[in-house]
Amino acid sequence: LTSRLPDVGTTIFTVMSALATEKGAVNLGQGFPDFHCDPALVDAVADAMRQGLNQYPPMTGVPVLREAVAAKVEAIYGHRYDANTEITITAGATQGILTSVLCCVHPGDEVIVIEPAYDSYVPAIQLAGGVPVYVQMEVSAAGYAVPWDAVAAAITPRTRMIMINSPHNPTGTVLRRADLDKLAAIVDGTDILLLSDEVYEHMVYDGQRHESVCRHPALAARAFVVSSFGKTYHVTGWKIGYVAAPAALMAEFRKVHQFNVFTVNTPVQYGIAQFMSNPAPYIELPAFYQKKRDLFRNGLSNTRFRLLPSDGTYFQCVEYSAISDLPEAEFAKWLTTEIGVAAIPVSAFYHEARESGIVRFCFAKRDETLELALQRLGRL
Ligand code: PMP
Ligand code: GLN
């Protein structure tokens, strides 16, 4: 059998979580909370099940949830999507990304990927027969930034799509209005589409706001915007999210979606729709996670790790050259095995392992978990 994805192995998240379990390490590797979601959300889903809402929902998602998403996006970003024609509920952001790519990337089309990049992007492009074109973020003491000149230079007549991700996994970088303006200038006059991965949209800190492409009409007009309820409501295992896009793009998206998953489980959709009628959980999320970020950063300030900025997401990147000269993957294993704290090597987010001496920690953990990790990391 000739593999469709010859370069793909087991994801780094699975590898590091397995090692963390085997070694009894505190798992700050794979990004998921170690605390419970709001019991009211569980009740809302259980109520839907008890009411018998257990059969196939519409292919595009239940109308109340699509409507709740449209209302939220309009309230926050001021852009109105038509809930009937422009929003589809997906099996997590991962399926939203794959389906967006499959529905518009043809064999030989180029897709610009900005590295470090979330690990599902490139396989999605390859499954479509597309060609990933890589641009690397710049790393400096001030953190990671997208070099828009390099993005512009990577465009060719074959460029079909540019993928962006803000707040950014793994670096915690948050795009600003000026970034979106530069991107808009780059794509102006072309038919290049955008995939905007905004799964961490509700995790932006220090009073900054999330610059969704929905705020930028020229970008929204050509974008698939992907989000995930797993991140926002502390339920990563529920694997549910959504994609919003202009009707013409969404029509193509749905052609693939209906044969990809057809639809997404019914009671969770109703439960989330009901829970979303209260905006407090996502409005309060930045303060909730900012406290955890600060607790973690303060603890690390007594170590030889150099902290990079974390303006959004629930990730903190650290540079470790004062502690070790091991390559990132080796250092992450050493941390897990010898220090008892698992991390993710940032090199795993590049197509050609690139060593910057940086690993990523996830701080979406109970304070006790973070304190235990800090106690262990405090030796370094
Ligand atoms: N994009 C990014 C940037 C992510 O970090 C994740 C989850 N780790 C996803 C997409 C996938 O989200 P989901 O679990 O909803 O598929
Ligand atoms: N997105 C999560 C992370 O970056 C992991 C998701 C997964 O395990 N595939 O850690």
Report the nearest atom of ligand 2 relative to the CA of 13. 8
Checking phi first, is residue 147 left (phi over 0); if not, alpha (psi -120 to 50) or beta? beta
> How much is the pLDDT for 263?
96
> How much is the pLDDT for 19?
94
CA 217 to centroid of ligand 2, rounded, Å: 30
Across residues 60-69, what is the average pLDDT? 98
> For every residue of 81-140, which 3-state class applies, written as one string?
CCCCCCEEEECHHHHHHHHHHHHHCCCCCEEEEEECCCCCHHHHHHHCCCEEEEEECEEE
Report d(CA 295, CA 218) in Å as an integer.
39
User: What are the residues whose beta carbons fall under 8 Å from the beta carbon of 325, sequence distance 6 or more?
Assistant: 357
Report d(CA 274, CA 93) in Å as an integer.
20
> How much is the pLDDT for 50?
98
Of 199, 213, 203, whose CA–CA distance to 249 is shortest? 213
Q: In the chain, what are the domains?
A: 12-30+284-377 (3.90.1150.10), 39-281 (3.40.640.10)
> How much is the pLDDT for 141?
83
Is the pLDDT confidence value at 47 over 90? Answer: yes
CA 11 to centroid of ligand 1, rounded, Å: 13
* ipTM of this predicted structure: 0.97
Question: Which residue matches tokens 């700050």?
Answer: 28
Most ligand 1 atoms within 8 A of CB, residue of 114, 163, 199, 226 to mutate:
199
- What are the tens digits of pLDDT across the range 237-294? 999 999 999 999 999 999 999 999 999 999 999 999 999 999 999 999 999 999 999 9
- What are the tens digits of pLDDT across the range 139-155? 988 899 999 999 999 99
Q: Atom 8, ligand 1: which residue's CA is nearest? A: 31
Confidence grade of residue 353 (pLDDT, cut at 50, 70, 90):
confident
Most ligand 2 atoms within 8 A of CB, residue of 14, 32, 231 to mutate:
32
> How much is the pLDDT for 155?
98
Pocket of ligand 1 (CB under 6 A): 31, 92-94, 118, 165, 169, 197, 199, 228, 230, 236, 239, 241
Report the nearest atom of ligand 1 relative to the CA of 165. 3
Task: Look up residue 219 and give its two tokens.
Answer: 């970008």
Beta bridge partners, 321, equal none
Report the nearest atom of ligand 1 relative to the CA of 118. 3
> How much is the pLDDT for 366?
98
Q: Atom 5, ligand 1: which residue's CA is nearest? A: 169
User: Which ligand does the CA of 203 lie closest to?
Assistant: 1
DSSP 207: T
Angle between helices 63-77 and 266-275 (to 10 degrees): 40
Report the nearest atom of ligand 2 relative to the CA of 236. 6
> How much is the pLDDT for 338?
96
What sign has the CA pseudo-torsion 224, 167, 276, 33? positive
CA 59 to centroid of ligand 2, rounded, Å: 26
| Under 8 Å between Cβ of 172 and 149 | no
Side-chain half-sphere of 370: how many Cα atoms within 13 Å?
A: 23
- What are the tens digits of pLDDT across the range 99-155? 999 999 999 999 999 999 999 999 999 999 999 999 999 998 889 999 999 999 999
